[in-house]
Amino acid sequence: MAGAARRSAAKHGGGPFYQSFAALTDAVRSGEESYAKVFGAHHFAHMAAEPGLAELFHRSMAASNAMFSGVTRSVDFSRARTVVDIAGGNGELLSRILAANPGLHGVLMDLPNALASARPRLSEVAGRLTLVPGDFTKSVPANGDIYLLSRVLHDWDDEQCATILATCARNMPPHAELLVIERLLPEGTDPASLAILWDVHMLCNTGGRERSESDYRALLADAGFELTETHQLPLDAHVMKARRR
């Protein structure tokens, strides 16, 4: 599994992402992602048009599965009945949460190409899982107790993040908790983080960016959420818990 994920990551990184990185100078000068210039479409629109590429991408995301190993230790899911994973990709995080919490029901929401890729991987928890195709700029499922946004906000600029978080705020029940999982840029003189390299990657390939905890606190506050706790995960990732203010 780990070998297959690394192979997919190498093929994807050495393919479209490598071509996009060749135009890094343009991206740095203009602040706009080079991927769309090289391929004529945003990364996710390009994948939607090319199912083979989408499958490669969703498989390659598994190369950093280790990031998720601390989530069930850091978050108490015992009082939740339904967890909604917004743009949950290949379903790895949600399937780990469901496996560790046998009473939970899961909703995996993403674009159709991601759900097609996730479906065969989720057989062990299929009885407690609903797959919902959708667009997080329009709506997210309304019946959750805990919502996940894992490695989603870093794909987008602040304006697009505000749209996604506004959709969450509109559709989530008042009691629900939002968990944001991202690598965090160091604040001040904190030690270096893998987030610095990923910041360049996001600029080139999605037009997004990595952010510090303060940046996420501000984005969440603008959308009506309060960041209440942050826990470290492997690979310089963090899970940030937020509640409606």
Ligand X SMILES: C[S@@+](CC[C@H](N)C(=O)[O-])C[C@H]1O[C@@H](n2cnc3c(N)ncnc32)[C@H](O)[C@@H]1O
What is the residue whose two structure tokens read 């304006």? 159
Q: Does 137 participate in binding ligand X (rule CB under 6 A)?
A: yes
Neighbour tally for 187: CB within 10 Å? 10
Nearer to ligand X, 89 or 141 (CB): 89
Q: How many residues make contact with ligand X (CB under 6 A)?
A: 16
DSSP assignments along 21-68, one per residue:
HTTHHHHHHHSS-HHHHHHSS-HHHHHHH-HHHHHHHHHHGGGGGGGG
Q: Does 101 participate in binding ligand X (rule CB under 6 A)?
A: no
Rg of the Cα atoms in the chain: 17
CA distance 224 to 200: 29
Sign of CA dihedral 234, 236, 237, 240: positive
The residues annotated as belonging to the active site are 154
Among 17, 136, 216, 225, binds ligand X (CB under 6 A): 136
Angstrom distances, CA of residue 129 to CA of 35, 99, 105? 34, 11, 6
- Least Cβ distance, residue 74 to ligand X (angstroms): 15
Nearer to ligand X, 61 or 204 (CB): 61
CA distance 210 to 197: 9
- Least Cβ distance, residue 245 to ligand X (angstroms): 25
The answer to whether the beta carbons of residues 202 and 31 sit under 8 Å apart is no
Nearer to ligand X, 89 or 144 (CB): 89
Q: Does 155 participate in binding ligand X (rule CB under 6 A)?
A: yes
Q: For ligand X, which stretch binds (CB under 6 A), given 106-114, 189-197, 224-232, 234-242?
A: 106-114
- Least Cβ distance, residue 29 to ligand X (angstroms): 25
CA distance 12 to 58: 10
Written as six digits, the tokens of 127 are: 């009885």
Q: For ligand X, which stretch binds (CB under 6 A), given 32-40, 110-118, 121-129, 222-230?
A: 110-118
- Least Cβ distance, residue 188 to ligand X (angstroms): 27
Sign of CA dihedral 149, 186, 243, 221: negative
Q: For ligand X, which stretch binds (CB under 6 A), given 12-20, 119-127, 146-154, 228-236?
A: 146-154
Q: For ligand X, which stretch binds (CB under 6 A), given 7-15, 31-39, 81-89, 98-106?
A: 81-89
Binding mask 37-56 for ligand X (x = CB under 6 A): -------x------------
- Least Cβ distance, residue 189 to ligand X (angstroms): 29
Residues that bind ligand X (CB under 6 A): 44, 61, 87-89, 93, 110-111, 114, 135-137, 150-152, 155
